[in-house]
């Protein structure tokens, strides 16, 4: 599979703290690639560098053959890179459908004047966005909750809504930061199948930062391991799972992320 995202020699400093040092990450198009490591390893920081929310002191970020090292977060989003966060971002005073519609607004073809005057173009684009959001809700199994206030959804369903909002943006690459956090075993199993469906049915490549090793090993095509801000191992999950250094340092640990 050709490369979609490439991070090379990424170094990040927060004041006098070296968070990442010369880290490399390769994400193949059409893959689910997981980043694992214990507390302080730099996983979320690396996701921030990829999405443009963390500035690297050194290194290169290439996406779909373009050098985006200096591009801001909104430009990377426009290029097709969408990220979710550890903490849920829910607009509680809006319906589930309206929450998901916010994800597809980067594709709308109207401007501020159209919005203020509610022109025909505005109404057409809003209808298109609404239908697209409904399709994404159906994809994640929340079609029956479209009119429910988002704040009334159980936590596990809010996580599904968050995923629906992310894929409503029609990304080429989805960056998921601990999507299984707070989910029970049944919900985590269902989430794993949903992430696979995002890749298999929608053609979206996925980068997953996750502590749930059962989930990581079950759905990943490739796994990259960080240790104290440096690359430790990378490869197919079966090989990484058997690596003595990985076994000793990470697998079986249940730390919080950085």
Q: What is the pLDDT of residue 124?
A: 79
Residue 258: pLDDT over 90: no
Highest mean pLDDT among 37-41, 84-88, 132-136: 132-136
Token pair for 199: 């890749």
Delimit the domains of the chain by residue range.
1-80+173-183+204-258, 89-170
Q: What is the pLDDT of residue 104?
A: 86
pLDDT range class, residue 92, cuts 50, 70, 90: very high
Q: How far apart are CA 140 and CA 168, in angstroms?
A: 11
pLDDT range class, residue 110, cuts 50, 70, 90: low
Residue 36: pLDDT over 70: yes
Token pair for 239: 């090989």
Residue 253: pLDDT over 60: no
Q: What is the pLDDT of residue 111?
A: 65
pLDDT range class, residue 213, cuts 50, 70, 90: very high
Q: What is the pLDDT of residue 2?
A: 65
Superfamily for domain range 89-170: P-loop containing nucleotide triphosphate hydrolases (3.40.50.300)
Beta-carbon count within 10 A of 256 CB: 11
82 and 171 in contact (C-beta within 8 Å)?
yes
**Least confident among 121-125, 170-174, 243-247:** 121-125
Q: What is the pLDDT of residue 204?
A: 98
Residue 105, classed as helix, strand or coil, is helix
Please check whether the two domains, 1-80+173-183+204-258 and 89-170, share a CATH topology.
yes
**Pick from 42, 45, 56: which is nearest to 11 by CA?**
56
**pLDDT (tens digit per residue) in 169-210:** 999 999 999 999 999 999 999 999 999 999 999 999 999 999
Question: Distance of CA 180 to CAs 192, 209, 224, Å?
Answer: 9, 10, 18
Q: How far apart are CA 99 and CA 191, in angstroms?
A: 19
pLDDT mean over 127-144: 95
Residues above pLDDT 90, as percent of the chain: 79
pTM, 2 dp: 0.89
Q: What is the pLDDT of residue 182?
A: 94
Backbone angles phi, psi at 234, to 5 degrees: -160, 145
Specify the CATH number for 1-80+173-183+204-258; select among 1.10.3720.10, 3.40.710.10, 2.120.10.30, 3.40.50.300.
3.40.50.300
Q: How far apart are CA 29 and CA 8, in angstroms?
A: 17
Q: How far apart are CA 233 and CA 39, in angstroms?
A: 17
């Amino acid at each position: 599979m050709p490369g979609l995202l490439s991070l090379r020699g990424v170094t990040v400093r927060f004041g006098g703290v070296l968070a990442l040092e010369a880290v490399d990450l390769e994400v193949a198009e059409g893959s689910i690639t997981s980043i694992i490591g214990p507390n302080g390893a730099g996983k979320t920081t690396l996701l921030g560098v990829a999405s443009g929310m963390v500035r690297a002191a050194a290194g290169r970020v290439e996406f779909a053959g373009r050098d985006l090292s200096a591009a801001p977060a909104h430009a990377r989003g426009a290029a097709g890179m969408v990220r979710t966060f550890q903490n849920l971002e829910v607009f509680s005073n809006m319906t589930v459908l309206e929450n998901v519609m916010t994800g597809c607004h980067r594709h709308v073809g109207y401007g501020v004047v159209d919005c203020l005057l509610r022109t025909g173009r505005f109404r057409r684009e809003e209808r298109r966005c609404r239908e697209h959001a409904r399709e994404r809700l159906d994809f994640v199994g929340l079609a029956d909750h479209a009119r429910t206030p988002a704040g009334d959804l159980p936590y596990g369903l809010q996580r599904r809504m968050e995923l629906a909002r992310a894929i409503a943006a029609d990304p080429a690459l989805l960056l998921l930061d601990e999507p299984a956090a707070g989910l029970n075993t049944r919900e985590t199993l269902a989430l794993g199948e949903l992430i696979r469906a995002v890749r298999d049915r929608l053609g979206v490549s996925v980068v997953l930062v996750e502590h749930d090793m059962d989930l990581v090993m079950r759905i990943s095509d490739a796994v990259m391991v960080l240790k104290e801000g440096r690359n430790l191992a990378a490869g197919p999950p079966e090989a990484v799972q058997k690596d003595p250094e990985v076994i000793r340092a990470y697998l079986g640990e249940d730390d919080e992320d950085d």
